[in-house]
Chain A
Amino acid sequence: MSGYLTGVLVVLAFNVMAAYAVYLPLAAGQLNLGIAGFMAIGAYAAAYLTNELGWSMWAAVPMGSAAAGLVGILIGIPVLRTHGIYLALATFALGQVIAAVFLNLDVVGAAAGYPVTDYAAPGVVFACAIGVVLLMALISRTRFALYLTAVKSDATVADLMGISVRGIQVAAFALGAALAGFGGAMYAHHYSFIEAQHFNVLLSVFTVLYVLFGGVQTVWGPLVGAAFFTLVPELLRASDQWRYALFALFIIIFMALRPQGLVTASLFRLFRRRSKGASA
């Protein structure tokens, strides 16, 4: 595999992990616009453990993920009392505050950035991304995933059916945060250097776009969205500076034709019925 291709696929792997971190709460109707902040927590926590305490990457990365998940629970409980645009604003502010804290935290290099001593090879990053996709595919086969949709679709009815709406929302938010932390921790160990400026609002917004573009109704939407946003600009490289204009045009056309995202639940049912009809 060429260095260029490996580089692109590594970016794709990180984008896929981030997309699922946004997808989990979004599947329950909660927009987290501060996902970069949770990535930063995972990245800095894991990097600190390998650098300063001499931990192995294999222990530091899960701890970074757990730290982000814990912050997700603590923040999620009060923040998820808000809805819609207010939740988006609250999480947006949260992401900014977290990045600002790391930007001024001398113990992890502050504005100068923070080199990381341990290294995760591309193969490890790929394996982690595939693991995340498989885990998400497994979760999508459970009642938990069904309840995410139920809570998003009609929280009153879900509540009357006995489902703990807040419990499901906080769990989805915290699991998303943990996943973001995991991706951030892997990022720190692959690139061997992190700086707070990387975990900015554009990273959060782009990740939300992957998910909305791919579609939030099925577990494959974020994968397709992240792949589109990562690979298509690369494929358009030959068109030089036109690539951004072409890419924007693609997005506008797709969103006009499929406002629910590229991959929807009814699309899946249609394919299933066709394949059943073909085999009958």
Chain B
Amino acid sequence: MSAPAPTATPAAAPALAISGLQKSFAGVRAIRDLSFSVPKGRATALIGPNGAGKTTVFNLVSGVYGVDSGSIHVNGVDVTHLPSRRRIRTGVARSFQNIRLMSHLSVLENLLVGQHVRASSLAALLTPYRLIPNHRWKREARAALAESGLEQYAEETVGALPYGVRKRIDLVRATLAGASVLMLDEPAAGLNPSETNALRDHLKALIARGLTLLVVEHDMHFVDSICENVVVLNFGEKIAEGPLSVVWRDPKVREAYIGTDEEA
């Protein structure tokens, strides 16, 4: 794996560019004129109080919801009106707040689903790969697990695994899809300190490989340890952007988080 190019200039096309995004639900404006971009090979956090619209942004970028107006570009490709199924081919994948792995499939089978983008021909669909010992798809999935130190879980049923392990398998699945931009919805929520550390190392390794992360997270220590840039949302509007240490002192941000006046 090559190290990320530190020479990447800010002028290079951003991994994710959101411009003038608007979305309403039954008259309630969930996202208001939102614009921000996520530079390649970096981690950016999307923070804000509950109901600020963070998950809605993920749903708009992944295509679960259609936009009312505005545009979304992934790696320079306009995906605004692309069907959700085709967006992963532009390099964007996401995780869900509640882990959405297929719980009665094995870990390996879940990862094979993640490989679909790179094995989607009719021939690939009908190859009886399970009859072929050590088929390259299985080899590749096992290698990805081994890289994350999770190889012992390959044959386990996902539903029976600890929460922290499932979170990381979700990450491995997204990386196997060949995604270059990962949107992670509260990756550290519900994890104990050692699981959080394992996740942090995992994410740092992904950034070192050149992946771009957009992270929704409430744990500010976690955000501080991996994200260089933070975008703050409140009532669907961007109220601040910049390094966490700076935005956290912004009076508007403090007001949005009223009642939780602790320093990060």
Chain A residues, Cβ within 8 Å of B129 = 141-143
**Which one of A164, A265, A272 contacts B104 once the chains associate, using CB atoms below 8 Å?**
A265
Q: Cβ of B85 and Cβ of A144 under 8 Å apart?
A: no
Give the complex CA separation of A138 and B132 in angstroms. Answer: 12
Q: Are B85 and A162 in contact (CB under 8 A)?
A: yes
A266 CB contact (under 8 Å) in B62, B94, B104: B104
Binary interface encoding of chain A residues 162-205 relative to chain B, with 1 for a CB under 8 A from any of its CBs, else 0: 11110000000000000000000000000000000000000000
The stretch of B8-16, B119-127, B249-257 that contacts the partner chain:
B119-127
Determine if A146 is an interface residue (Cβ-Cβ < 8 Å). yes
* Number of residues from A at the complex interface, CB < 8 A: 29
Nearest CB on A from B9, distance (A) = 31
B35 at interface, CB cutoff 8 A: no
Number of A-B contacts (CB under 8 A): 92
Chain B nearest Cβ from A237, distance in angstroms: 37
State whether B94 touches A153 (Cβ < 8 A).
Answer: no
**Please, which residues of chain A bring their CB within 8 A of the CB of B128?**
138-139, 141-142
Establish whether residues B157 and A142, one from each chain, have CB atoms under 8 Å apart when the complex forms.
no
Binds A, one of B66-74, B107-115, B206-214, B227-235: B107-115
Q: Which of A138, A160, A265 is the most central at the interface, judged by chain B CB atoms within 10 Å of its CB?
A: A160
Task: Please provide the chain A residues from 247 to 280 with a CB less than 8 Å away from any CB of chain B in the complex.
Answer: 265-266, 269, 272-273
Most buried by B among A157, A158, A165: A157
Within 8 Å CB of B86, what residues of A? 162
What chain B residues lie within 8 Å of A146 (beta carbons)?
A: 105, 109, 112-113
**B127 pairs with A143, CB closer than 8 A:** yes
* Nearest-neighbor residue (CB-CB) of B88 within chain A: A162
30 examples of A-B residue contacts, CB within 8 angstroms: A138-B128, A139-B128, A141-B128, A141-B129, A142-B130, A143-B112, A144-B126, A146-B109, A146-B113, A147-B125, A149-B102, A149-B105, A150-B102, A153-B102, A156-B64, A157-B100, A159-B85, A160-B85, A161-B88, A161-B113, A161-B114, A161-B116, A161-B177, A162-B85, A162-B117, A162-B120, A265-B157, A269-B106, A269-B157, A272-B155
